[in-house]
Amino acid sequence: MANQGGGNSVFREYRKGNWTVEETMAQIGELQKMLESLPSIEEEVQLLRSQKTALERDMELGAAVQRQSSGGVWKWIGNLE
C-alpha cells in the first residue's frame, strides 16, 4: 500500500520505477516495524504454549483425581449387597 497524500491508502502494484522515493521509504518503514514486532509475537506464542501445557497438565491431574474418588464410591456401593 502506498500513501498518496491526504492519508488515503491505495494499493499499487510494484514495478521498477513507478514508486516515488517517499512511497518506497514509507514501505521500508512499515516493513521494519513489522520485523521489529516479530520477537514480541514469538514471546507471546511461547507464553501461550506454556499456559496451554500447564492447563492440559491440570486437566489430566483433575481427571486422575476424579477417577480415584469415584472408584471409592463404587466400592462402597458394591459392599452394600
pLDDT band at 78 (very low <50, low <70, confident <90, very high): low
Buried b (16+ CB within 10 A) or exposed e, 23-53: beeeeeeeeeeeeeeeeeeeeeeeeeeeeee
Record the pTM.
0.39
pLDDT digits 0-9 by tens, 19-30: 888 988 999 999
Mean pLDDT lowest among 13-17, 22-26, 46-50, 56-60:
13-17
